[in-house]
């Protein structure tokens, strides 16, 4: 746990310096330090860190030729990830190179979005860690890359560039097929947040929960037979995360009346959060494995990272900012600690044993 807290503190400090300095050189250096710190922790970790990490090491060791890529590509249609796995062997056969390459792609995409579109990069980097976005790809590497690439659609959404949005979704789907489901979601996200739009999302969620078995069956036959496990394996769990998402959604909906600055951005991010929360609610109502269907919500995970800075920009003057800020930091650090301890075998961090640390 200490490694995650240390890198979070380092990134928050250097991003604070980057946000207040008038020197473009110092800003570049600080953001480079943040990028390097965020890449090295997942890149230098041991294969024992993370529930699925050893599986990806196994893939990396098996994929040696382009025929291996073609075989897995035919099975999964996720050619992008397997081509990437194959290409890393031209640099090194050690899995540390594989982890670093994945981390560079994921962190590069997320950092670009935060630095470009956040109204306070320090708050956003803090939430990037404490909301669990940072550690997600430690396990689900394929979907982690897909989610990071999908995060780049924030720009096209704000600029109403549907062609760029479609292109990025298609690229993301080369790493995890679930991304293709985000194509029609453009028309839900790219609109003001209002009662009508929220009702549409809510109805879609209710209909999905009612016909969940049939939807998953269709997805299994069209996309991947493995998706049938999302419906077949009943498991309790995920309620803590879903419950928090519902509380945060209620807060952001209530706070919307106070938002004057950056209202259009706030609405788009709120639509994303509403959609992701409904995915969680559907998963809970359907009683399915939280590690399956609930993962679709991660495509909307960056929404709260971008919403909170707008909240602080529009906070009423009568509220004591120091007290609110303290409670905000304290609460999210507790949340970060609990989530990291409870999920995905991430707590006992170890460096790659082959590095001799």
Please check whether residues 220 and 171 belong to one and the same domain. no
Q: CA 276, CA 260: separation in Å to the nearest integer?
A: 24
Q: Give this prediction's pTM.
A: 0.89
Range of the domain at 14: 1-180+344-357
pLDDT higher than threshold 90 for residue 198 = no
Please check whether residues 250 and 353 belong to one and the same domain. no
Question: Residue 204 has which token pair?
Answer: 């879609």
Domain count of the fold of the chain: 2
Please check whether residues 249 and 355 belong to one and the same domain. no
120 and 18 Cβ atoms separated by less than 8 Å: no
Please check whether residues 36 and 135 belong to one and the same domain. yes
pLDDT higher than threshold 70 for residue 7 = yes
The radius of gyration computed from the CA coordinates of the chain, to the nearest angstrom, equals: 20
pLDDT higher than threshold 60 for residue 233 = no
Please check whether residues 197 and 230 belong to one and the same domain. yes
Please check whether residues 143 and 173 belong to one and the same domain. yes
pLDDT higher than threshold 70 for residue 293 = no
Residue 336 lies in a domain: no
Please check whether residues 170 and 202 belong to one and the same domain. no
Please check whether residues 280 and 226 belong to one and the same domain. yes
Report helix angle 321-342 to 2-20, nearest 10: 140
CA torsion, ordered 322, 324, 330, 336, to nearest 10 deg: -130
pLDDT confidence tier of residue 287, bands split at 50, 70 and 90: low
Residue 320 lies in a domain: no
Measured CA distances, 237 to 31, 177, 315 (Å) = 37, 24, 34
Please check whether residues 80 and 214 belong to one and the same domain. no
Phi-psi map region of 262: left, alpha, beta (phi>0 left; psi -120 to 50 alpha) = left
For residue 83, what are the contacts with CB-CB under 8 A and spacing of at least 6?
Answer: 69, 73
Question: 19-46: per-residue pLDDT in tens?
Answer: 999 999 999 999 999 999 999 999 998 8
CA 123 to chain centre: 16
Residue 103 lies in a domain: yes
Please check whether residues 171 and 199 belong to one and the same domain. no
Residue 224 lies in a domain: yes
Q: CA 16, CA 329: separation in Å to the nearest integer?
A: 15
Question: Coil, strand, or helix at residue 289?
Answer: coil
Measured CA distances, 146 to 27, 207, 214, 222, 317 (Å) = 28, 26, 25, 19, 40
Please check whether residues 141 and 232 belong to one and the same domain. no
Q: Report the mean per-residue pLDDT for the chain.
A: 84
Residue 243 lies in a domain: yes
First to last CA, the chain: 17
Residue 259 lies in a domain: yes
Residue 332 lies in a domain: no
User: What mean pLDDT is predicted for residues 321-325?
Assistant: 77
pLDDT higher than threshold 90 for residue 229 = no
pLDDT higher than threshold 70 for residue 216 = no
Please check whether residues 17 and 151 belong to one and the same domain. yes
Q: CA 151, CA 168: separation in Å to the nearest integer?
A: 9
Residue 323 lies in a domain: no
pLDDT higher than threshold 50 for residue 87 = yes
pLDDT higher than threshold 90 for residue 336 = no
Question: Residue 64 has which token pair?
Answer: 């040696």
Q: CA 236, CA 149: separation in Å to the nearest integer?
A: 30
């Amino acid at each position: 746990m200490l490694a995650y807290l240390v890198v979070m503190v380092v990134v928050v400090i250097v991003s604070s310096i980057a946000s207040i300095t008038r020197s473009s050189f110092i800003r570049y250096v600080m953001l480079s330090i943040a990028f390097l710190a965020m890449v090295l922790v997942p890149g230098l970790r041991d294969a024992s860190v993370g529930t699925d990490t050893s599986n990806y090491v196994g893939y990396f060791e098996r994929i040696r030729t382009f025929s291996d890529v073609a075989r897995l590509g035919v099975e999964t249609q996720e050619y992008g990830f397997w081509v990437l796995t194959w290409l890393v062997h031209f640099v090194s056969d050690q899995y540390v190179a594989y982890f670093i390459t994945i981390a560079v792609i994921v962190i590069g995409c997320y950092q670009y979005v935060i630095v470009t579109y956040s109204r306070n990069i320090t708050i956003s980097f803090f939430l990037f860690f404490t909301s669990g976005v940072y550690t997600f790809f430690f396990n689900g590497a394929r979907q982690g890359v897909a989610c990071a690439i999908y995060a780049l659609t924030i720009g096209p959404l704000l600029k109403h560039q549907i062609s760029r949005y479609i292109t990025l979704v298609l690229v993301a789907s080369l790493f995890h097929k679930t991304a293709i489901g985000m194509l029609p979601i453009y028309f839900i996200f790219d609109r003001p947040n209002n009662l009508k739009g929220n009702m549409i999302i809510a109805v879609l969620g209710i209909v999905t929960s009612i016909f969940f078995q049939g939807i998953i069956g269709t997805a299994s036959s069209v996309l991947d037979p493995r998706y049938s496990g999302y419906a077949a394996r009943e498991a309790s769990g995920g309620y803590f995360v879903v419950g928090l998402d519902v509380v945060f959604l209620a807060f952001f909906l209530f706070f919307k009346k106070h938002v004057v600055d950056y209202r259009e951005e706030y609405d788009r991010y709120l639509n994303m959060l509403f959609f992701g929360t409904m995915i969680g609610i559907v998963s809970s109502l359907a009683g399915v494995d939280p590690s399956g269907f609930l993962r679709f919500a991660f495509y909307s995970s960056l929404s709260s990272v971008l919403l909170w800075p707008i909240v602080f920009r529009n906070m009423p003057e009568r509220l004591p900012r120091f007290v609110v800020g303290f409670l905000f930091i304290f609460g999210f650090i507790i949340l970060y600690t609990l989530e990291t301890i409870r999920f995905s075998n991430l707590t006992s961090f170890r460096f790659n044993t082959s590095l001799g640390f």
